[in-house]
Structure 1
Amino acid sequence: MSIIIILHALLVLVFTLRILLRDDLSPPGRLAWFIVLNALPYVGSLFYFLFGEIDLGNHATKRHDEIFGEINAQASSFMGKSDYCYQCIEQVYQPAFLYGGSINGFHPLDGNIAELMPDSETTLTRMIADIDAATDQVHVLYYIWLTDITGTALAEALMRAAQRGVTCRVLADGLGSRHLIKSVLWQRMKEAGVHLAVALPINNIIYTLITSRIDLRNHRKITVIDSRITYCGSSNSADPEFLVKKKYAPWIDIMLRFKGPVVAQNQLLFASDWMQATGEAFNSIHLATEVFEKGFPAQVMGFGPTERTGAAPQLFSNLFACAQESILLTTPYFVPDTTVLEALCTAAHRGVKVTLIFPKKNDSWIVAAASHSYYRRLLDAGCTIFEHRKGLLHSKILTVDGKVSLIGSSNLDLRSFDLNYENNLLLQDRQLTQAINERQFTYIEGSDEVKLPEVLNWPFYRRISNNVVATLGPIL
């Protein structure tokens, strides 16, 4: 019995010391792990071993640094310069754009234009038409790629392009697109001459669990065609009916079609992932750009576990701090860290109109519970909260003062902040931002407003469970 007690104490001591030695772990995250280790020492120790640390290994980090060194050396003219920010961005928003440029080295470039796609069907039609017109290269990266109507149509367009001599590169996440990677459609693309690669493969689950984390994923959604056109937004390569989670359908997404210098930056971000996955050199990627006289300034940024820690929440907080009049935020998953929560509440307290739009029914009960735990704090600060009734509102949009927009793959949750590779595009343009706001207003029309009295009347057991989940949020 004494030996068991000693082993038990050693187990808890070893993991406690490991947690205390980590400088990258936030105090709430550290506290959450202490709670789990003390409540469930054996299960907690196993979970910490499997999921406790965000680490792809020294090789991945070193390779990432080498890749961006190579990109900087060969494509600096496409990345922009930090001092140019002062020429093309209104002064009040410059801190956010400057911070965005510090993440990957992509600074604002002027002369971009964009179209907001009206719906998923139009997005697919336009994307396939662009691929069918391609003459040089097509690059595609998705977290989830299904073999449904959308996924098959995109694959067939790529096969047609490859067969007429266009270089097509496809990168799919090893977990999110696992069914495609094992499918006949994947094999057909390979046989047609499409270059295929898997981001963060999980061929050996045991090895992945021991050496890294299975939930470190590439969540990006990037399509670049001939270095002239790029699509950016929240859509995966899947039908709105989203058959793998059809009870939450339809999934409501937003996509924009961009032309201009920012296309090259998205191409470079794709290239960094392709080089990481395949080991290929950068010189196989062709770059070009066109500048539109009445275009707007924009920049690309990528977050991920090999980027600077805290980059995503710090960017969002910078944007909230820049707001003078309004913040309009749509996200399916809202589990903010302290930085983001405080910045939102601070903006509301100083008179900024803060409007938040979430789905009423979430595909993750854990995320829903954690999100609800923040409602009272947000409402007390003066924020307005809407819950969209139909399907799963999957759009990820932030607009500031009707002038600045951030759109891409990032959610406002700890998974996007710490675990996923994400891609986003930040722009300043009143006309486009107002169009994006109008889309968000349509979400509000199909939503119910959450009032403070309603939240105060939630049963005590619901409030307790929400707060318990939120307390453990940093480790979920």
Structure 2
Amino acid sequence: MSNWHRPRFPGMVTVLIAVLVMTGCALSRMTDRNESRSLPANQTADTRLGRAIAPLADAHPGESGVVLLENAHDAFAARALLAEGADATLDVQYYIWQYDITGTMLLDVLYRAAERGVRVRLLLDDNGISGLDEALAALDTHPNIEIRLFNPFVVRSPKWIGYVTSFQRLNHRMHNKSFTADNQAAIIGGRNVADEYFGAGQGALFADLDVLAIGPVVHELSDDFDRYWSSVSAYPVATILPEAGEEDLARVVETAKNCSASSAASKYICAIEDSKFLNNLLAGNLEFTWAPVSMISDDPAKVLGKKPKNGLLSRQMAEAMGSPERSVTLVSPYFIPTKTGVEIFRDLERKGVQVRVLTNSLEANDVAMVHAGYAKYRKPLLEAGVQLFELRKLPGSESVEGDLQKSLMGSSSSSLHAKTFAIDGKSLFVGSFNFDPRSVHINTELGFVIESPELTQVVENHFEEQVQVTAYEVVLDSAGDLQWIERNGEEEIRYSHDPGTGLIKRMLVSFFSFLPIEHLL
């Protein structure tokens, strides 16, 4: 009898079935989890930060002090020094935290803060912590450090297996980014914790953008951190990761020591040593812009597929920023307006509102699928009257040409990563929100709405300067076809296809544009 119909690899089939059964199991319910909350600001008023900030806040009642952190090295140093300045608590929340130079060094400053008695709470999205399981489990053994993973994977390696049976749950991620010391000072914005976010030096403002804040908005942010920390999606690492011991913690500390002593870390060490940030902050000499600032964020229940009333950042942002009357300046690395967004922009243009958009060019974009989702809207946007600019690939940034995996999935190292919106020269949004369906419907996001004409003007002026020297302007020619204009001083170069790209990449983007995946991007 023929046996052609029998499985040829019964062992492999058995393993596959076992994996599917295992990954199909739901996360276990949490029955034992310590509950904690941020310390009220009046309980941290006598910390170094509290004493330094109180006179400034008292002189500006109802307003928050804001500093834009545009330089990458300054943004790294500000986080490290803010941790060194903390006396009571550190509440830290991130989407990506890599075990590279900057990630290792910032874990070390958290550890050293815990060593001197600071309570450290670290909340990380489980999708962006590749290679960190052992280090996190070890740090969590410290009596002053508690770490939780948001929406964790059951199978630790390879994690992609979880998407096979739990895609609906795991597709929702916590994209929030915040770093708060003593409920007195905080940093939020577009940067995750990884070398590519802190390596741009004196690059363009829009390579990435963070905000340092003091005042009432910090207390709002601390309350929001508590909401995520106590949500049903935040699992203590001890319930997810293998048990660690004292020797594991010692190994993590030694790794950090070796990292800091390496030549590769020297530029970050110098950034910290040369920075006057902490001294100026503690001495009350840091120059803040004072303005009404509102924190807006998604309800963490969004990852469960729920949409609580007024619990979506997109709705809060629309309410906070109102109806534009003169201008909208939008910066987003991953920009997918959808048909609805195009119609919104068209209506604004009809009302005389100038709409300008800066996003990544194809040569700079690190996620080809996302670019495909955007590219099909270029003509409709231009026909609607939108001024469209695409940032060129900055020197030193990675190319997606040579790495198909990064082209498909994204390496988070594109030359443009800032997410900001400026309205009417009066209001400014800075945060984690991209203008795409994923930020609107799938991931949770966080940001500040800053009602400051001064800072809004700074961003708008930088926009005008940057697009002239670092971006292509996308226009329609007389035949209605796309053209890219590159300006280099008096020289003007026109391209009839995406500049700096090969035929294969353009074909790949064209193929992706036909796939019915826009709602996932």
In the alignment, residue 451 of structure 1 is paired with which amino acid? V
- For the residue of structure 1 that corresponds to 2:514, the secondary structure is helix
CA deviation after TM superposition for structure 1 residue 341, in Å: 2.7
CA deviation after TM superposition for structure 1 residue 124, in Å: 1.2
Aligned to 1:200: 151
Aligned to 2:195: 239
User: What TM-score, normalized to structure 1?
Assistant: 0.67
Match of 1:378 among 378, 381, 387: 381
User: Could you tell me how far apart the structure 1 residues matched to 2:315 and 2:227 are?
Assistant: 23
Aligned to 2:282: none
Match of 1:253 among 181, 201, 208: 208
Match of 2:471 among 429, 440, 447: 447
In the alignment, residue 473 of structure 2 is paired with which amino acid? E
Q: 1:186 to 1:432 in 2, by over 3 A?
A: farther
Q: Alpha-carbon deviations, 1:339-390, whole Å to 9, x = none?
A: 4332122112221111100111211111101101111111111111111012
Q: Tell whether 2:178 aligns with 1:222.
A: yes
- For the residue of structure 2 that corresponds to 1:328, the secondary structure is strand
Q: Tell whether 2:81 aligns with 1:129.
A: yes
Q: Alpha-carbon deviations, 1:247-296, whole Å to 9, x = none?
A: xx99921011001100011111111111125589xxxxxxxxxxx99831
Q: Tell whether 2:226 aligns with 1:271.
A: yes
CA deviation after TM superposition for structure 1 residue 201, in Å: 0.6
Q: 1:408 to 1:371 in 2, by over 3 A?
A: same
| 8 Å contact from structure 1 (residues 241, 250) kept in 2 | no
Q: Tell whether 2:343 aligns with 1:342.
A: yes
Q: Tell whether 2:468 aligns with 1:473.
A: no
| 8 Å contact from structure 1 (residues 111, 293) kept in 2 | no
Q: Alpha-carbon deviations, 1:88-114, whole Å to 9, x = none?
A: xxxxxxxxxxxxxxxxxxxxx931110
User: Could you tell me how far apart the structure 2 residues matched to 1:433 and 1:197 are?
Assistant: 36
- Unmatched 5+ stretches in structure 2: 1-22, 43-60, 237-286, 398-413, 484-495, 499-505
Aligned to 1:31: none
CA deviation after TM superposition for structure 1 residue 315, in Å: 4.9
| 8 Å contact from structure 2 (residues 321, 449) kept in 1 | no
- For the residue of structure 2 that corresponds to 1:219, the secondary structure is coil
Aligned to 1:325: 326
| 8 Å contact from structure 1 (residues 314, 339) kept in 2 | no
Match of 1:145 among 75, 83, 97: 97
User: How many pairs does the alignment contain?
Assistant: 361
RMSD, matched Cα: 3.7
In the alignment, residue 293 of structure 2 is paired with which amino acid? A
Q: Tell whether 2:134 aligns with 1:110.
A: no
Q: 1:326 to 1:411 in 2, by over 3 A?
A: same
Aligned to 1:402: 425
CA deviation after TM superposition for structure 1 residue 160, in Å: 1.0
Larger radius of gyration: 2
CA deviation after TM superposition for structure 1 residue 199, in Å: 0.7
Q: Alpha-carbon deviations, 1:116-151, whole Å to 9, x = none?
A: 113111011122111111111100011000112221
In the alignment, residue 473 of structure 1 is paired with which amino acid? E
User: Could you tell me how far apart the structure 2 residues matched to 1:455 and 1:321 are?
Assistant: 32
1:403-418 equivalences under 5 Å are 403-418=426-441
User: Could you tell me how far apart the structure 2 residues matched to 1:190 and 1:439 are?
Assistant: 46
- For the residue of structure 2 that corresponds to 1:121, the secondary structure is helix
User: What TM-score, normalized to structure 2?
Assistant: 0.62
